């Protein structure tokens, strides 16, 4: 790309930044398309005039482009957790913005408890010959195989929610998982005293497979690593009990939880490393007597219900709706506009409590 063209493309991004709108909105104004409020249109045109922006090359790029298709490969909303509804809403929001620019977004959903559904859907993505993929790499081995096929086919990909180290992605948009766990450790410190024990629960169908992979690769284990690092770095002597549960249904989790708590009466706090903290909360609610300090992740309806009741003490969130939105817009900016995009965009790590949850937006 010539230096002048780079400057002009960067100018579009600068106009969007100054006007506090999306690049797609700037494009609509430049080409006099509908769908922009008059006040916003005037603000953008004023900035264009101030910058003396000349969109000739950008206009030729848009005029010559063909329709572009992106694929989204993420889990569907499950009975156990509604977490993936939020990223989907962000994806749909971005899709509405880029559709008038000749971009289509095709969604492929897999069962987060069944790797075979990921394999099936990933094959459909490869057959569709899309221009780029937005991927939630929950199953590491299967994801690595899929992105190797994407590389061979020349299909760029963006990760959301979890990263896989040493993969040549266009961008990763999501939390720093180690730091999320480190923060969980800090919060848990307030809920324990003396030589109390801490229970860390990793609940996922692929946990057994994850134990066979290189240490630290699985998203839940990286949070656990952060928790352990917090206690070690602060010279806290609490015993940390680890429970990796493959079965995510209520009955199985309750059975395992009762067994662990009976065998370890010194446990005062529990951290569930994903959105299934509400399932653990439901079990604890039916157990009379002792209150366990409970920390978990993700802003879901069930998690908020148990936060309100006081069964869950803290929820850690990382704006999943914005992750979905940014994922699509990163594909658009990088592959259609030719802009340089951030290789890693870490989301804020937010602490949600009973007192502030009603003000939070994903």
Q: Tens digit of pLDDT for each residue in 301-337? A: 999 999 999 999 999 999 999 999 999 999 999 998 8
- Strands across the sheet containing 171-174: 103-110, 68-75, 132-135, 157-160, 171-174, 344-346
Q: What integer pLDDT is reported at residue 6 of this predicted model? A: 42
- CATH topology for 67-175+319-359 is Rossmann fold (3.40.50)
Q: What integer pLDDT is reported at residue 262 of this predicted model? A: 94
Closest CA to 198 of 124, 121, 106, 295: 295
Least confident of 176-180, 183-187, 245-249: 245-249
CA 339/CA 24 separation, integer angstroms: 13
Residue 7 reports pLDDT greater than 50: no
Arithmetic mean of pLDDT, 141-163 = 95
Least confident of 5-14, 91-100, 144-153, 271-280: 5-14
More confident residue, 67 or 328: 328
Antiparallel, parallel or unpaired: β 132-135 and 157-160: parallel
Average per-residue pLDDT for the chain: 88
Identical fold between 67-175+319-359 and 177-317:
yes
Per-residue pLDDT of 89-123, as tens digits, reads 999 999 999 998 889 999 999 998 889 999 999 99
CATH for 3-63? Answer: 1.10.260.40
**CATH architecture observed for domain 177-317:** 3-Layer(aba) Sandwich (3.40)
- Backbone phi and psi for residue 50, each to the nearest 5 degrees, phi listed first: -65, -40
Arithmetic mean of pLDDT, 255-282 = 95
The domains of the chain are located at 3-63, 67-175+319-359, 177-317
């Amino acid at each position: 790309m010539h230096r002048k063209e780079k400057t002009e493309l960067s100018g579009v991004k600068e106009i969007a930044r100054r006007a506090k709108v999306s690049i797609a909105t700037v494009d609509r104004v430049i080409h006099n398309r509908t769908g922009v409020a008059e006040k916003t249109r005037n603000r953008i045109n004023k900035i264009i005039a101030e910058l003396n922006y000349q969109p000739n090359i950008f206009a030729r790029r848009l005029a010559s482009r063909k329709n572009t298709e992106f694929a989204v490969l993420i889990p569907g909303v499950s009975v156990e957790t509604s977490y993936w509804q939020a990223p989907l809403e962000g994806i749909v929001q971005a899709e509405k913005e880029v559709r008038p620019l000749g971009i289509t977004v095709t969604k492929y959903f897999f069962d987060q408890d069944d790797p075979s559904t990921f394999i099936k859907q990933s094959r459909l993505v490869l057959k569709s010959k899309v221009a780029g993929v937005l991927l939630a790499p929950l199953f590491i081995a299967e994801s690595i195989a899929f992105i190797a096929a994407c590389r061979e086919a020349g299909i760029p990909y963006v990760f959301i929610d979890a990263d896989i180290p040493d993969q040549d992605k266009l961008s990763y948009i999501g939390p720093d998982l180690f730091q999320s766990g480190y923060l969980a450790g800090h919060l848990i410190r307030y809920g324990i005293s003396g030589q109390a024990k801490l229970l860390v629960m990793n609940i996922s169908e692929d946990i057994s497979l994850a134990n066979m992979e290189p240490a630290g690769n699985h998203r839940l284990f990286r949070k656990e690593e952060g928790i352990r690092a917090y206690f070690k770095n602060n010279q806290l002597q609490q015993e940390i009990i680890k429970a990796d549960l493959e079965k995510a249904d209520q009955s199985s989790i309750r059975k395992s939880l009762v067994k662990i708590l009976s065998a370890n009466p010194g446990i005062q706090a529990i951290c569930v490393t994903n959105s299934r903290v509400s399932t653990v909360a439901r079990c604890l609610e039916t157990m009379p007597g002792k209150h366990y300090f409970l920390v978990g992740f993700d802003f879901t309806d069930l998690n908020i219900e148990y936060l309100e009741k006081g069964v869950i003490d803290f929820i850690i969130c990382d704006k999943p709706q914005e992750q979905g939105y940014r994922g699509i817009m990163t594909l658009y900016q990088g592959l259609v506009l030719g802009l340089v995009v951030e290789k890693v965009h870490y989301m804020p790590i937010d602490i949600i409590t009973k007192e502030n949850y009603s003000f939070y937006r994903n």
